[in-house]
Amino acid sequence: MIEALTLSPHRRAVTASALLAGLLVLIVGVGLWGWSDLSAQSEAIEMRQAEVQAIAERVRARGPGLARAERTLAADPFLPGATPTLAANALQRRIVALAEDAGVVLKTIGAEPAAVETGTLPSVLLQASATARIAALQKLLYRIETETPFVLVDEVALRAPQGRDQTAAPSLDPELDVELRLIGYPKRTGSER
């Protein structure tokens, strides 16, 4: 049969038809392979879209707390003030305001710039003593560490009240004596870099 085709006067037409048929089969095969790859990509995109929608729903469900956290992260983390002394004063005013809002009674408070070592950030140390109930102290500590400017609670010492009326029944939420040591970081000026 091959010999008959090669001797046939129409062999060029037959060869061209065979090449065209082969090319057509190749194009259809590549098209089907591409279609299957496209459908797999489409399914993957739909799965990712469903995942993103589920995440978006969870974010919406968290509501105002997440928005507050985003605002906090976008805010300036450093204490305001052109000098370390002004930053110490700003930290002291902030802690006084937070304590009043939380219901913590401050006895003493003092802030001062810490000695700056080479290669470290300048910092402000604050020492405070107060009396507070547990819920008020939790509120104060939470606000100190989650709001801007960022301040770290370095030490907290709690003591049971001393010298108070011992005849009264013990309270489930006693007023505690609290000692705090906080650290804040002022903005660095151009000369400190």
Contact 131, 159 (CB under 8 A): no
The Cα–Cα gap between 69 and 65 comes to 6
When the candidates are 3.30.70.60, 1.10.10.10, 3.30.830.10, 3.30.2270.10, the CATH number that belongs to 84-192 is 3.30.70.60
**Whole-prediction pTM:** 0.57
pLDDT in tens, 3-33: 665 666 666 777 778 888 888 898 988 888 8
> What are the domain boundaries of the chain?
2-61, 84-192
Q: In whole angstroms, what is the distance from residue 175 CA to residue 39 CA?
A: 67
H-assigned helices in the chain: 2-7, 11-62, 64-74, 84-102, 134-146
110: left (phi over 0), alpha (psi -120 to 50) or beta: beta
Q: What is the mean pLDDT of residues 70-99?
A: 83
Chain segment 34-50, per-residue pLDDT in tens? 777 777 778 878 887 78
The mean per-residue pLDDT over the stretch 148-170 comes to 77
